[in-house]
A and B are shown apart, each in its own frame.
Chain A
Amino acid sequence: MGALCTAGSGVGAGRDAVYRGSDRLSPLSIFESGLKAAPLCGQITDLRDEFESPNRTIALSCIAAREALAAVGDRRGVAIGLVFATTVGGITRSELFYKALRTDALVAPNAARELAFHEPCAAAGFLCRAFGLAGFYTLSTACSTGLHAVGMAKRLVEQGDFDACLAVGADALSLLTLRGFSSLMLIDPAGCRPFDERRAGTSLGEGAGAMLVASEATAHRLGVPPLARVAGWGASADCHHMTAPHPEGLGAQKAMRAALDEAGIAPADVGAIATHGTATPDNDKSEIAAVRAVFADVPPFFSVKRTLGHTLAASGILEAVFAVCALRDGIVPPTAGFEQTDPAIGLAPSAGVRRDMRHIVKNSFGFGGNNASAVFSLSS
């Protein structure tokens, strides 16, 4: 696995911050947002790009992918594919180019180069060449993308399209997403407070997560002992509204049930839920309504958005990485930013507890009513 986020570079740095329930949000400083006050974000202020990446999203991806592949031994004869998850692709660079183009026609000759790096698949192609991967899919389903990428990687390996598959999710903080979420009044000026009665929106972040998915036999051949099993993947659409979740979370219920069915386990077998937990008033309420409908006894749940920020397409993989750590370590992390139970939700997230678990559920939901759930299980 690989991780890069505001809490630091490497799975260990992020995991420790998640376990401590650290608040790692800070006022945006990496670019000028044009908003009255700099919003609190999960930003990476010391990004060191050793890959000469053509844009920030690619730079983030390469660092996480390198970590995930670091332990792989002899790869000869093993076809490793890639499922790359992003929402914004090369937008950080495109924004600068377009702003210049609006006032200076002399930059127009750079358009071909800029357009090539704008396309989301440019990052996937770059990763393939940098790490010797055989082929790829570039997935973009808004904030659920990362977790779908893990699910697709599982299927590609099961169907034999690749011997192993690297799922990478990455998004850089951008003017487009920051101003877009702001235009929808989805940013909490005080920083996100998942499941808290006072919650007033999310906080954006940036980062990358990576997971190498392989059959047990291929994992041993590559010399990487399995950390966990991707036991189930569920996907659904709300068919309710382009941005608002279904109030009872019908689509989320369907995704969770599909993931549990594929894993062959009952809801009672689940030790914890790593929620999407964006801290927008509607999303948190809808997600817990869905959880209550699926789980007669709701297991401990948590959100890491106050620690990492909402890293969009990266969030599904990045948060799944830390969910797998939690599963293996028997820890249900606390939810930073939470203080007061919301009567409309009626449940409080974990305050940080030790718990022996065999299975953990991860949820990710996105614009367009797009839902993803996955079950991660301890390897036998």
Chain B
Amino acid sequence: MMTSLFVRGFAAVIPFEDTGWQAEVPAHVKRRDPRIWQMAYVSAARLLGAATRKPRSLCVGTALGALDETKSFLDGVFKDGFGSPRNFIASVHNSMAGKLALEFSMDGPNLTLCDGQNSFASALASAALLPPDAFPCLVAAVDESIPLLRDLVPHLSSDCASSLPGPADEGAVALLVSKDPADAVAAIRAVGPRVLAGQTPEECAAGCAQLLGAGEQSGDCLQPPRSYLGAALRIHAVLLAGRHGRHVAASYSPSSKACAAIEVTL
């Protein structure tokens, strides 16, 4: 139950802080592929560039996938009577996972989880379900700031507007995880989305964190972040800071009214 995995490496692309990331996008990816694929690509390339063991499988968490491609496809249909097949292919939620498998030759299980703000927790919990020969596994979270949705912000409820990836909370986070604790940076485990009725998002998230067991934990991550990528960014920040101890990042999805939690122990 809630099996622990072990982090062997981590990387991220956070465009708001890292304005030069696109210099790392190879020409064939830059020329053809949507921006969200490019963020996923660079996060994986940074992670795997330093890895001694390459991943065999992939679990990606994304709330909306390449929604901008869906919009472009529908624009084509509504305006010109023809949608671009390239937009359609990219619009499929698992297109990033397919692209990463293709680029980095990961021929094992390839799963994409779409659980809103809980997507990264879902991806981690799903990785724990894979058979031993699927490891190491690359677990990623990817979401982008979408111009159409940003334009709609004045018309959205405050809850909904603040959940959208703005310039500061779009990007990609990638972890390389295994079932072998030797030489690991940290242990990590997650509880996927749970429906805990009749509570506030904060209470729901705290309740979900309790499913990971009692014990010392830093409390700064229990306030569920609003943005889709928030939990992944918090886990990345903890790993980057190398703060010893047990840390829990909770999340809450207003669309599904469900919460999830990730525990990382350094």
Chain A contacts to B: CB under 8 angstroms: 34, 87, 89, 91, 95, 98-99, 102, 108-112, 115-122, 124-126, 128-129, 133-142, 148, 152, 155-156, 159-161, 175-176, 179-180, 183-184, 235-243, 251, 254, 258, 262, 366-370
Please state if A141 and B255 are interface contacts (CB–CB under 8 Å): no
Question: Cβ of A34: which chain B residues have Cβ within 8 Å of it?
Answer: 77, 81
- Complexed CA–CA distance, A111 and B227 (Å): 17
| Contacts known (A135-B194, A241-B102); A161 close to B110, Cβ less than 8 A | no
Whose C-beta in chain B lies nearest to the C-beta of A254? B107
Chain B: how many interface residues by the 8 Å CB criterion? 71
Residue in B89, B95, B106, B115 whose beta carbon sits within 8 Å of that of A239 in the complex: B106
Partner of B160, one of A98, A116, A139, A242: A116
Residues of A contacting B111 in the complex (Cβ-Cβ under 8 angstroms): 139, 141, 148, 152, 235
Contact between chains at B95 and A121 (CB < 8 Å): no
Q: Least Cβ distance of B81 to chain A in Å?
A: 6
A356 vs B150: C-alpha distance when bound (angstroms): 59
Are A137 and B125 in contact (CB-based, < 8 A)?
yes
Once the chains bind, are B116 and A236 in contact (CB under 8 Å)? no
Contacts of B118 in A (CB 8 A): 121
Q: Tell me, yes or no, whether B93 is within 8 Å of chain A by CB.
A: yes
Question: Are B98 and A237 in contact, CB atoms less than 8 angstroms apart?
Answer: yes
Contacts of B114 in A (CB 8 A): 89, 119-121, 138-140
- Alpha-carbon distance between A119 and B255 when the two chains are bound, in angstroms: 7
Q: How far is the CB of B232 from chain A (nearest CB, A)?
A: 16
Contact of A98 among B74, B97, B125, B157 (CB under 8 A): B74
B108 touching A367, Cβ below 8 Å: no
Please list the 6 inter-chain residue pairs (A to B) with the smallest Cβ-Cβ separation, ordered nearest first: A368-B98, A125-B256, A180-B88, A235-B109, A140-B93, A155-B129
Given contacts A119-B63, A124-B115, A135-B192, contact A141 B107 (CB under 8 A): no
The answer to whether the Cβ of B14 comes within 8 Å of any Cβ in the partner chain is no
Beta-carbon nearest neighbor of B194 in chain A: A135
Q: By the criterion CB–CB under 8 Å, are A370 and B255 in contact?
A: no
**Within the complex, which residue of A140, A175, A239 is in contact with B112, where a contact is CB–CB below 8 Å?**
A140
* 7 A-B interface contacts by CB (under 8 A): A112-B156, A120-B114, A135-B193, A139-B113, A184-B85, A237-B109, A239-B107
Q: Known contacts A159-B1, A176-B74: does B107 contact A238 (CB below 8 Å)?
A: yes
Extra A-B contacts (9), CB below 8 Å, given A139-B112, A139-B126, A235-B57: A34-B81, A110-B155, A120-B93, A121-B115, A124-B115, A138-B113, A140-B94, A148-B111, A176-B74
Partner of B193, one of A117, A136, A152, A369: A136
Query: Is B240 at the interface (CB under 8 A from chain A)?
Result: no
A-B contact count, CB below 8 Å?
223
Docked CA distance A133–B194 (Å): 9
Nearest CB in chain B to that of A132: its residue:
B195
Q: Is B254 an interface residue (CB 8 A)?
A: yes
Q: Which of B72-86 contact A (CB under 8 A)?
A: 73-75, 77-78, 81-85
Query: Within the assembled complex, what's the spacing in Å between the Cα atoms of A180 and B94?
Result: 15
A251 to B97, CA, bound (A): 15
The residues of B with any CB-CB pair to A shorter than 8 Å are 1-3, 57-58, 63-65, 70-71, 73-75, 77-78, 81-85, 88-89, 91-95, 97-99, 101-102, 105-116, 118, 122, 125-126, 128-129, 131, 149, 152, 155-157, 159-161, 191-195, 197, 253-258
Give Cα A137 to B152, complex, Å: 28
Which residues of the other chain, A, contact B106 by a CB distance below 8 angstroms? 237, 239
B70 contacts across to A, CB distance below 8 A = 91, 176
Q: Would you give the shortest CB distance from A86 to chain B, in whole angstroms? A: 8
Among candidates B91, B126, B159, residue contacting A180 with C-beta atoms closer than 8 Å: B91
How distant is the Cα of A140 from the Cα of B112 in the complex, in angstroms? 5
**A179 in contact with B77 given A112-B156, A237-B107 (CB within 8 Å):** yes
Which of A136, A237, A242 has most B Cβ within 10 Å? A237
Write out the residue numbers on chain B whose beta carbons fall within 8 Å of the beta carbon of A237: 58, 98, 101-102, 106-110
Are B82 and A367 closer than 8 Å at their CB atoms?
no
Least CB distance from B9 to A in Å reads: 21
Q: How far is the CB of A175 from chain B (nearest CB, A)?
A: 7
Question: Could you tell me the distance in whole angstroms from the C-beta of B231 to the nearest C-beta in chain A?
Answer: 14
Complex alpha-carbon distance, A336 and B110, angstroms: 31
Q: Are A370 and B195 in contact (CB under 8 A)?
A: no
Closest partner residue, chain A, to B3 (CB atom) = A159
Complex Cα distance, B111 from A160, in Å, reads: 20
Shortest CB distance A78–B (Å): 15
Partner pick for B197 among A102, A118, A129, A156, CB 8 A cutoff: A129
Question: Which listed residue (B93, B101, B113, B255) contacts A125, Cβ 8 A?
Answer: B255
How distant is the Cα of A109 from the Cα of B160 in the complex, in angstroms? 12
* Bound complex: CA A122 to CA B254 (Å): 9
Contact A243 B105, CB 8 Å, known A121-B258, A141-B110, A183-B83: no
